[in-house]
Amino acid sequence: MSFNLEDLRGPVTSILTAPGVDLGTISAKRVRKELLADTSLGLTARELKERREEVDSLISKIYESIRRQDQADESKRKRDEETEEGTEQEDREDAMEEPDTAEEPGEDDDDDDKPPPPKKKKSAKQNVEADAELARKISSELNSRSRRGASNGAPAMPKKRKTKKSAKMVDSGDEDGSEEKSKKKRSGGARGGFAKEYMLSESLSVVVGVDKLSRPQVVKKLWEYIRGHDLQNPSNKREILCDDAMRAVFGTEKIDMFRMNKVLGRHLHVE
């Protein structure tokens, strides 16, 4: 039985936006392997091979959409940081300015009666450097926690800086002789980070009907709910019109599929 290509849009987006995924190195071949490893999708190596061009085209489109959004988010983050640093710099310079004090005539010159000189304030440059060092330490600690949570305790490789990569760079790979390997993998169930189960938030549990699921299974259940309640915008299938239950999860009247998968991470909690 042939599969519906649109049913793969959610799982592919989930794979490409999962914690720890480097868009600079991931390939279409790896995405297909993850799809094949997800037994809930019920795919076979033969089906994927027969429709590989269609699947790769879908992967490339979703990949490009995610990459463009990440670049836009990164540019906005840098602009916000520059604005914040400029404001902090001005505040420090204002704080360093002290009113001039004139010496009163007849003032006693006895050094013993003078109060100890005030401690010299740090320069603006020293303050900026100290703040930058503190920011780096906090960022390193937060990233370390994020990687530990995403890999379920396994040592995580540091995430590489994202590099531009066109859809043509997505490797289609070669699947000859892969059907037998895929059968072995499916017999043991999906492994790795994509099979890890999370505790779901209360609002998300109401939508999917359970309290604990892996991320790909959450995406699949969400799409079952969306289609079952006819929530796709008829004029733009990539846009979801939220009902009361969906609004409780995403906090908006409508949401596109990319943003939906981004927000979804806030409702998945490690036990």
Give the other-Cβ count within 10 Å of 27's Cβ: 17
Q: Which of 188, 210, 229 is the last residue of a domain?
A: 188
- Asked if 245 and 208 touch (Cβ cutoff 8 Å), the reply is no
Distances (CA, A) of 35 to 62, 84, 88, 156: 15, 42, 47, 22
* Six-digit token string for 54: 């269609």
Where residue 243 sits, what CATH number does that domain have?
A: 1.10.245.10
6 in any annotated domain: yes
Query: Does residue 166 share a domain with residue 56?
Result: yes
Query: Does residue 163 share a domain with residue 56?
Result: yes
Q: How many CA atoms lie within 13 A of 162 on its CB side?
A: 18
pLDDT the model gives residue 91? 60
Q: How many domains does the chain have?
A: 2
Query: Does residue 178 share a domain with residue 86?
Result: yes
Q: Which of 188, 220, 241 is the last residue of a domain?
A: 188
Q: Which of 148, 172, 188 is the last residue of a domain?
A: 188
**60 CB-near residues (< 8 Å, 6+ apart):** 28, 167, 170
- Asked if 253 and 241 touch (Cβ cutoff 8 Å), the reply is yes
pLDDT the model gives residue 195? 77
Query: Does residue 204 share a domain with residue 87?
Result: no
Query: Does residue 238 share a domain with residue 135?
Result: no
13 in any annotated domain: yes
Query: Does residue 234 share a domain with residue 177?
Result: no
Query: Does residue 160 share a domain with residue 51?
Result: yes
Give the other-Cβ count within 10 Å of 34's Cβ: 24
- Asked if 195 and 189 touch (Cβ cutoff 8 Å), the reply is yes
20 in any annotated domain: yes
Q: Using CA atoms, how far apart are residues 50 and 195, in angstroms rounded to an integer? A: 26
Query: Does residue 72 share a domain with residue 202?
Result: no
Q: Using CA atoms, how far apart are residues 232 and 238, in angstroms rounded to an integer? A: 7
Q: Using CA atoms, how far apart are residues 241 and 232, in angstroms rounded to an integer? A: 6
Backbone torsions φ then ψ of 245, nearest 5 degrees? -65, -40
pLDDT the model gives residue 206? 92
Distances (CA, A) of 245 to 226, 235, 238: 11, 22, 19
- Asked if 240 and 254 touch (Cβ cutoff 8 Å), the reply is yes
pLDDT the model gives residue 58? 93
Q: Using CA atoms, how far apart are residues 113 and 37, in angstroms rounded to an integer? A: 82
pLDDT (tens place) for every residue of the chain, 271 residues total? 578 888 899 999 999 988 888 888 889 899 999 999 988 888 899 988 999 999 999 999 999 998 888 888 888 888 878 777 766 666 665 555 544 544 444 444 455 555 555 555 555 455 445 555 655 555 555 455 445 554 454 445 555 555 555 544 445 554 444 444 544 455 444 445 667 888 999 999 999 999 998 888 888 888 899 989 999 988 888 889 999 999 999 999 989 877 888 888 889 888 7
Query: Does residue 179 share a domain with residue 242?
Result: no
pLDDT the model gives residue 1? 54
* Beta-strand runs (E) in the chain: 197-200, 212-214, 232-233, 236-241, 254-256, 268-269
Query: Does residue 52 share a domain with residue 155?
Result: yes
Query: Does residue 158 share a domain with residue 232?
Result: no
Query: Does residue 240 share a domain with residue 130?
Result: no
For residue 266, give its domain range.
196-271
pLDDT the model gives residue 270? 85
118 in any annotated domain: no
